[in-house]
Amino acid sequence: AQSVTQPDIHITVSEGASLELRCNYSYGATPYLFWYVQSPGQGLQLLLKYFSGDTLVQGIKGFEAEFKRSQSSFNLRKPSVHWSDAAEYFCAVVRDGGFKTIFGAGTRLFVKA
Amino acid sequence: NAGVTQTPKFRVLKTGQSMTLLCAQDMNHEYMYWYRQDPGMGLRLIHYSVGEGTTAKGEVPDGYNVSRLKKQNFLLGLESAAPSQTSVYFCASTSRGYEQYFGPGTRLTVT
């Protein structure tokens, strides 16, 4: 069965430090991959997406992610974290003809001053 | 352009009571979804709809019913609420089934 794994339940980084959030997927074909962010008390907002082409994709708020087929990974990165980046981040994959999304369990990011 | 809206934002029910959550979108999206979010479990799909008048079961449909009488609205019903249905409920919509647009959520507590 298709699945999405986010190995880190929570991560703490210092403001200004770099960030990498891990995501691994299990899917038979080339997947459509997404990262969403959820601020406290809010719904999810799309950060970036990968469908095909360049394996390094840029998103909003200075985030980027790299698709690595050989590792079945789609890790999210940011060179310098801001306090406002503290939130929960969800990796997701689209399956079944494109109208069902499977979400990872999420990684909560804490930013310390 | 309000996007996806959900009502109510908060609700407390007693076991056995019923209620309906309303989701509305003004983006003319074909597909709509109801998820529940529980700590450490990500989002789980309850029911979804690929068009007006059609609905289908998701991953965790038991105890819930849905209706999509109008393209812009997707209703989630709890016929007889149970404490296990305490959760945060999110509605989402999409036009081509890829990027989803989420509402702000409804926090439901069943006592």
Flag residues of chain A having pLDDT under 70: 1, 28, 96-97
When CB atoms are compared, the residue of B41, B99, B104 closest to A43 is B104
Amino acid sitting at position A37: V
**Would you call B104 and A46 a contact, using CB atoms and an 8 Å cutoff?**
no
> From CA B57, how far away is CA B66, in angstroms rounded?
9
For the CA atoms of A23, A25, A29, A34, what is the dihedral angle to 10 degrees?
Answer: -40
The secondary element (H helix, E strand) that includes residue B45 is strand B43-51
When CB atoms are compared, the residue of A41, A43, A101 closest to B103 is A43
| pLDDT for residue A41 | 86
Residues of B in Cβ contact (< 8 Å) with A98: 96-98
Which residues touch B102 (CB under 8 Å, ≥6 apart)? A43, A44, A45, B4, B90, B91, B92
Instruction: Give the model confidence (pLDDT) of B1-47 as tens digits.
Output: 789 999 999 999 999 999 999 999 999 999 999 999 998 788 999 99
| pLDDT for residue A96 | 60
Instruction: Give the model confidence (pLDDT) of B52-111 as tens digits.
Output: 999 999 999 999 999 999 999 999 999 999 999 999 999 999 987 688 999 999 999 999
> From CA A31, how far away is CA A92, in angstroms rounded?
10
The secondary element (H helix, E strand) that includes residue A106 is none
| pLDDT for residue B34 | 98
**Would you call A41 and B105 a contact, using CB atoms and an 8 Å cutoff?**
yes
| pLDDT for residue A29 | 74
